[in-house]
Structure 1
């Protein structure tokens, strides 16, 4: 079965275009197998807090909808940069063995830290916790760290800024290892407890409604692994508007940034092997070569190859048409193949997505090249990796998430865990 194109509901789309959706905050829950979040009983202080932010946000127990949380309190240090810290202090000693951190990143003055570490008070000084194999920095999710157990009245997170200031949305701490493993062991499948039931509902629904759920072999996951960890695109320019070399390059860069938002969710998770999944645009398809205002040969150009009343990149080079992964008739050879098409159509409202790629309006895409989140495109990429629509039902306890068209403008924690659930069910086919 080839995944059907899925059109974004225009009614829901209008909600997103007219304003920011309302997101209901849910209390943060400990992961399965862990004790309660000990941070809730601590007092939070910081090296510096912007006047409009609140350091108390880091242990208020509110689960963020995304790293760019515009609904709940946040801790941020803009305009200060350099080394910054948040300190949790308890009135009595706590036995601590793990923590997870949700970073504040507004794609502007506050971004992910260049690095971070955890320290505890040993009675005379702050020292780094031991037994840590790495400190992940991923947006739109909790970043978990296990360490050798300590007994202390103070836990400090130290952040080193990169290109901007830094911030946190939540800092949770526990007396047991996250995922039930040993300190420093990467966690497997350990969604927040409040998401377990809705995630199970989603997977059961997909099993009952997808015709060939486990037999289908051209999900986005299959494409990434067939290439050994990268994706090639071809742009179907379904418009008469001219494209300069600068606009072309900006389209490529925006595509890479947005696709990366999904891939970053997998880094360090459940035996995912890649720290980066590069995206390269290898071709453009147009009706008229004069539409493309460049003469370099950085991409292949396909002219007047019309399919579905739109320019089509060469079929011998497309994975959708060659799912064996062999491209014997592709001009230029296999390195010129494309896995997905970015189909940009003038005047097109909403979006469509599947194993073949994604379709959105050309005006929408070019008008949002610098946007933090191209929510329509991101929604359609979700379909490429198997995620379903939610037009006629909503999982228990969930209201607002990207794959429920019209209810969120960015990838939420629930979207992230649905995405990871696909990996959990398919990873054995890749020997993981």
Structure 2
């Protein structure tokens, strides 16, 4: 069992000469939907044009001096380009070609895609990564959205930012880099620290490749789902409404990790449903419902806390067979959500996650229940960083206390696990 705790250079005016090259679609794609959108921007240098970003002209390079460009010199910080359609579009992928003149406009430090929900802009879910490279398209797949607006948000580095072309599609891009069909395309600044993390994993954990009960294994054993049992290690009562909210929060937080993987590098599941199949308590009277929607385990004490039935637990039956589980395999649980009164911090591993019951109940409506998210990371095999820090990184969820949500570095660490282990399941 693994237990883990918690430039000051003026932009040049582009001279429009020569014959434009029509922008081809990404490999395997159909029409480029961006062509029918209207482009606007947070700011445009007077000599540049935001209409450049969807004019359908393929750049010759990031320092294209033939065709029009969009740039923000001398403005820096967060800048954006917005594509607006007259009706909702189904979108699944996009790619961008950065403007970089080696002077006042350079590739961004980072970027992301947002869509209009109807009331606000939200980051697309399941982004396969946001590469930052010059002289080529930088592609990203994401969970399908239906929206009338797509926004490319750029965060500048030492200079201003700009774009030469944006393309958007209704289907996933088959590969984010034609020269790298594996789909492994982390941002350049993360390559070294990711390598350091994986080397650390390999040298620290002797069971890294042989261990067969990570959350990955559980998902595949269930053909794309996860079952939980709640260990209610508290004297408080639980209403049916609270029971259902506890499950809904668990589902929402687990989905945040799955959204990181959706559409990435052959990962087969867009969704991984999470179901609570059981509750364990000391006293049945604490549970204020009489329906049979979940199995109830009463006064089965292990580790001085209520335990869900061992015959139904994957931790105790890693063959995937549950011959002695009263309800059969459909009633088995893969992990426990162990909610302990007065417990500070958290713990996590292949067996599940343990956090304070008061903390969890108080965070039911929170967007990020960060201690739970951290401990879920351990269930997927992600490490703690108490005694070392990967090069160039400081603040990320698995470095406890330094972030309260899944960061880009956390996401790429998870994807690296899949890259190294996916052949276990034939991918």
TM-score (structure 1 length as normaliser): 0.67
**Structure with greater Cα Rg:** 2
CA distance in 1, matches of 2:364, 2:150: 24
The 3-state SS of whatever aligns with 1:332 is: coil
Partner of 2:153: 169
What is the match of residue 180 of structure 1? 177
- Give the match for residue 419 of structure 2: 424
CA displacement at 1:201 relative to structure 2: 0.3
Deviations 1:164-216 (A, max 9, x none): x875433977899964328xx97611111111100000000111111211111
Mapped partners of 1:143, 1:196: distance in 2: 13
Deviation at 1:7, TM superposition (A): 2.0
Pair 160,217 (structure 1): closer, same or farther in 2 beyond 3 Å: closer
Q: List structure 1 runs of 4+ shifted beyond 6 angstroms.
A: 58-61, 86-92, 105-108, 171-178
Cα separation, 1, equivalents of 2:338 and 2:408 = 28
Q: Which residue of 1 aligns with 2:125?
A: 138
Q: Does 1:358 align with 2:321?
A: no
User: Deviation of residue 91 (structure 1)?
Assistant: 12
Q: Which stretches in structure 1 are left out of the alignment for 5+ residues?
A: 9-44, 50-55, 62-71, 93-99, 114-136, 151-158
Asked if structure 1 preserves the Cα contact closer than 8 Å seen for 2:232 and 2:279, the reply is yes
Written as runs of structure 1 = structure 2, the 5 A alignment for 1:322-361 is: 322-361=317-356
Structure 2: distance between partners of 1:284 and 1:172: 53
- Residues 96-148 of structure 1 deviation map (CA, whole Å, 9 limit, x = unaligned): xxxx97234899953548xxxxxxxxxxxxxxxxxxxxxxx42566468xxxx
Given the alignment of the two structures, is residue 7 of structure 1 paired with residue 5 of structure 2, yes or no? yes
Q: Deviations over 1:326-378 (max 9, x none)?
A: 00000110000000000000110000000000000001111111111111000
Give, in whole Å, the separation in 1 of the partners of 2:372 and 2:116. 19
Aligned partners of 1:7 and 1:402: how far apart in 2?
A: 13
**C-alpha distance in structure 2 between counterparts of 1:198 and 1:90, whole Å:** 27
Paired residue for 1:103? 113
Alpha carbons 2:313, 2:332 under 8 Å: kept: yes
Which structure has more relative contact order (CA 8 Å, sep 6+)? It is 1
The answer on whether the counterparts of 1:234 and 1:285 sit within 8 Å (CA) in structure 2 is yes
Give the whole-Å Cα distance in 2 for the aligned partners of 1:323 and 1:392.
32
**Paired residue secondary structure (2:252):** helix
Q: 1:224 to 1:286 in 2, by over 3 A?
A: same
Deviations 1:264-302 (A, max 9, x none): 111111111111111010000000111111111100000
Q: Does the 8 Å contact 2:71/2:99 carry over to 1?
A: no
Q: Which residue of 2 aligns with 1:274?
A: 269
Question: Tell me, which stretches of 5 or more residues in structure 2 are unaligned?
Answer: 7-37, 43-49, 51-69, 102-109, 138-144, 155-161, 168-172
**C-alpha distance in structure 2 between counterparts of 1:310 and 1:285, whole Å:** 9
Q: CA RMSD in A?
A: 3.8
In the alignment, what sits opposite 2:159? none
Secondary structure at 1:348 match in 2 = coil
Helix, strand or coil at the partner of 2:243: helix
Change (3 A) 1:201 1:332: same
Residues in 2 aligned to 1:416 and 1:330: alpha-carbon distance in whole angstroms: 35
Report the count of equivalent residues.
329
The answer to whether the aligner puts 1:203 opposite 2:203 as a matched pair is no
